[in-house]
Chain A
Amino acid sequence: MDRGLNILIVGVGGQGTLLASRILGSVATDLNYDVKVSEVHGMSQRGGSVVTYVRLGESVFSPLIEKGEADIIIAFELLEAYRWLDHLKEGGKFIINKQRIDPMPVIMGKQEYPAEILEKLDALNIDVIPVDALDIAKNCGNIKAVNTVLIGVLAKLTGIEKKVWIDSLNDNIKKAFVDLNLKAFECGYSL
Chain B
Amino acid sequence: MKKLLLGNEAVARGAFEAGVKVATAYPGTPSTEITENLAKYDEIYSEWSPNEKVALEVAIGASVAGARSICSMKHVGLNVAADPLFTVSYTGVNGGLVIMVADDPGMHSSQNEQDSRFYALSAKIPMLEPADSSECKEYVKQAFDISEEFDCPVFVRLGTRVAHSRSLVEIEEGKGINLKEYSKDVNKYVMMPGMARKRHEVVVKRIEELESFSSQTSLNKIEWGSKDIGVITSGISYQYAKEAFGNVSYLKLGMVYPLPDELIRKFAEGVKKLYIIEELEPFIENHVKKLGIDVSGKDLLPVTGEYSTRLIKEKLFGHKTDGATQEDIPVRPPVMCPGCPHRGVFYVLRKLKLVVTGDIGCYTLGALPPSSAIDTSICMGASIGMAHGMEKARGREFSKRTVAVIGDSTFIHSGITGLIDIVYNKGNSTVIILDNSITAMTGHQANPLMGYTIKGEVTKQVDLVKLADAIGINRVRIVDPFDIKNVEKVVREEITADEPSLIIARRPCALLKGVKYKGALMINQEKCKICRMCMSIGCPAIVDKGDHIEVDEALCIGCELCTKVCSFNAFEKVGE
Contact = CB atoms under 8 A, between A and B. Distances in A.
Q: Is chain B a partner of chain A in the same complex? A: yes
Interface of A: 12-14, 22, 25-26, 28-29, 34-49, 60-64, 66-68, 79-80, 82-83, 85-86, 99, 101-114, 134, 143
Contacts of B310: 66-67
A63 B167 contact: yes
Contact of B166 (A25, A66, A110): A25
Nearest to B238: A61
B321 A107 contact: no
A59 to B, nearest CB: 10
B565 interface: no
Given A43-B29, A82-B326, A103-B333, A63 B544 contact: no
A34 B337 contact: no
B239 to A, nearest CB: 4
Given A108-B535, A112-B330, A41 B164 contact: yes
Contacts of B563: none
Given A39-B6, A43-B29, A86-B324, A105 B330 contact: yes
A67 B165 contact: no
B389 interface: no
A40 B108 CA distance: 8
Contacts of B225: none
A37 B326 CA distance: 27
A104 B168 contact: no
Contacts of A102: 540, 543, 552
B240 interface: yes
Given A12-B332, A42-B441, A44-B334, A114 B368 contact: no
Interface in B307-356: 308-310, 321-322, 324, 326-337
Minimum-distance CB pairs A-B, first 7: A42-B109, A42-B29, A48-B334, A103-B332, A37-B166, A49-B332, A63-B165
Interface in B181-238: 236, 238
Size range of the interface on B? Answer: 35 or more
21 contacts: A12-B332, A29-B2, A35-B168, A36-B166, A39-B164, A41-B164, A43-B365, A46-B441, A47-B332, A47-B336, A60-B167, A62-B308, A63-B161, A63-B239, A82-B326, A83-B332, A103-B330, A103-B333, A107-B535, A109-B544, A134-B554
Contacts of B542: 107
A39 B326 contact: no
Contacts of B415: none
Contacts of B174: none
Nearest to A138: B554
A40 B164 contact: yes
B109 A86 contact: no
B2 A107 contact: no
A20 B6 CA distance: 15
Given A35-B168, A41-B109, A104-B332, 17 more contacts: A39-B166, A41-B164, A41-B443, A42-B29, A43-B334, A46-B334, A46-B335, A47-B334, A68-B321, A83-B329, A83-B332, A102-B540, A103-B332, A105-B333, A108-B535, A109-B544, A113-B330
Contacts of A13: 334
Contacts of A28: 4
B32 A108 contact: no
B475 interface: no
A104 B544 contact: no
Contacts of A85: 326
B369 interface: yes
Nearest to A44: B334
B342 to A, nearest CB: 11
Given A103-B332, A107-B543, A46 B108 contact: no
Contacts of A113: 330
Interface in B258-299: none
A38 B309 contact: no
A51 B194 CA distance: 55
A79 to B, nearest CB: 7
B464 interface: no
B243 interface: yes
Contacts of B368: 104
Contact of B538 (A26, A83, A104, A111): A104
Contacts of A61: 238-240, 242-243
B14 interface: no
A41 B108 CA distance: 8
A36 B165 contact: yes
**Of B322, B324, B554, most A-chain CB atoms within 10 Å:** B554
Nearest to A46: B334
B29 A64 contact: no
Interface string B22-56: 00000001101100000000000000000000000
B551 to A, nearest CB: 12
Contacts of A108: 369-370, 535, 544
A134 B332 CA distance: 20
A143 B544 contact: no
Contacts of A36: 132, 165-167
B329 A79 contact: yes
Contacts of B242: 61-62
Nearest to A82: B329
B442 interface: yes
Contacts of A44: 108-109, 334
